[in-house]
Each structure stands twice: as structure tokens, then as C-alpha cells.
Amino acid sequence: MASAPQPQLPLFYKDLLPLNSRDHAKWKAATLESAAYLATTHAIPVTSDEFVDAQRHFPIVFTAGESPLPIALFGLNEGVNTYVGDDMKINEAIYLPAYARRYPFILAKLQQGVDDMSLCFDPSANLLGAFDEGLALFDDAGQPTEYVQGVLDFCRRFEEAGQRTKLFMDELIKLDILIDGEIAITRNDMPDTPFVYRGFRMVDENKLRELPADTLEGLVKNGILALIYAHLYSLNMMRNLFERQLAQGKVPTPGQAAPAPALN
């Protein structure tokens, strides 16, 4: 079984294999109980469809660069995920972005110049294999089981949400309301020494308010304004996230500019 050629693998994925009934006819899926794949990830991609749910738990910001993408912050510093415990589990009820929930599966193009996408998986996750117990991947006729169909449907919906997210981001860029973000947070016991976080983008509320009335009306009708405000409301979670890091002893030297909370 040769791995699918991948010059650059997406976040979390260490290898990709196409799922097929020839090589994996008798394979089963175990339960992914460990969140170790998330443990050192501070920023996870999030689709615009998820803003309303995600903003209750995490700050939603945008990556820097020419093609910004929305990300949910699980930590404010590189390599810090405040929601994965030492036992490599998420021990509280939070909204986990679909990007992370689909792991170790993904829809990927196996050949350049071909638009068709195949259901692939990361074998390093050790979720799929010739196990004695688990959910079967294919039936006796070699057809995908209900489990695999469900995974495929989930991945397809994620790709569709990704297209809607691209349209949303294109609109933000067209409106020219994104600015370089900077947030300074101070501790009560160190009011004169702020912790500064940069390297992300955010919507400028002043630019938003200055948009023409007809433009704002259009944003209301197409639902984009609600997504923008979900992003803006989520920024209130920055201090909550800082307090989580502080409680876990994962805050850097006071006054030091923190590494950019961007997706790497």
C-alpha cells in the first residue's frame, strides 16, 4: 500500500492512504480516545458555518498573509493547547471544530489535474486496522458500510463549508475591513507589564461602522454581518484563554511579544 503523494500534508496529518475495499476489506475502525494529535496545536481551522457555536468557547481570528483563514485559538502561544490535559484527553464540554473532528479522515486529490477527491486516512493515528473489534469499513460485498458512508458525508459537508468560508473571506477582503490585530492583556498583580499578542488579523469595528448603509443592509441579508459579529464577540474570550494559560503555568515572560497565534 503506497501512500498518496503529498508534498505538504495538512495540519495533524503525518501520512495519507486512500481507503479502498481491496487493501482494507477486513479492517475495522476503533474509537479515537486520545486527543494527543491536538496537544501542541494552539490554532485550529474553523469554517464560517461554525462561528456561532465556536465563538462561545474560543477567540476566532484570521491568519496573517495574503489569503487569511479563520482559526479558533486553543492557546495564545505556539505549541500551547489549554484544553488537552496531561492525560491527552479533552476533559470538558467544548465545541471541537469540524476540522479536528474529521481526523484521521480527509478528502484528498490523489492525482494532479484531477478534480475527483478520494476518502483518505492517516495511518499513524492507528484508528483503522485489522482489529478483532470495532466498526467494519466494508461489507462482505466490498461496499462501504454505514460508518464509512457517514464519514464520507461528513467530509463532503466539511468541504462544502470550506467553499462557503472562502466566499466569506473573499467578501471581507473586498470590503477591506481586516486589520492586523494586537491585543495586550495585563495581570491584576502586574498592571504595568502587558502580555502582547500579535500576528493575526481581525475585523476593524470602525471600518465596519463606516460602510455605506446599503452595503450593511446587504451583509445583513446574506448573513455575513452575523458572522462578523460572532467573530468580534469571540475576541472577549482572549482574556479567558489567557487566564487558562496562566493557571496552567504556560504564560511567557511578562512584556515579551508572544509568538503569532497563526496556523502553522
Average pLDDT, the chain: 89
pLDDT in tens, 96-117: 999 999 999 999 987 776 678 8
**Domain-located, residue 225:** yes
Closest CA to 168 of 96, 223, 249: 223
**Domain-located, residue 6:** no
Residue 254: predicted pLDDT = 56
3-class DSSP state of 63? strand
pTM of the model: 0.88
**Domain-located, residue 171:** yes
**Domain-located, residue 249:** yes
Asked if residue 19 lies in contact with residue 137, where contact means CB atoms within 8 angstroms, the answer is yes
Could you tell me the pLDDT band of residue 186, with boundaries at 50, 70 and 90? Answer: confident
C-alpha cell, 6: 503529498
Model confidence at 262: pLDDT above 60: no
- Expressed as residue numbers, the domain containing 29 is 17-258
**Domain-located, residue 5:** no
**Domain-located, residue 11:** no
CA distance 84 to 244: 12
Model confidence at 93: pLDDT above 80: yes
**Domain-located, residue 3:** no
**Domain-located, residue 7:** no
CA distance 148 to 29: 9
Residue 107: predicted pLDDT = 95
Number of structural domains (the chain) is: 1
Q: Which residue has the higher pLDDT, 32 or 188?
A: 32
Model confidence at 42: pLDDT above 90: yes
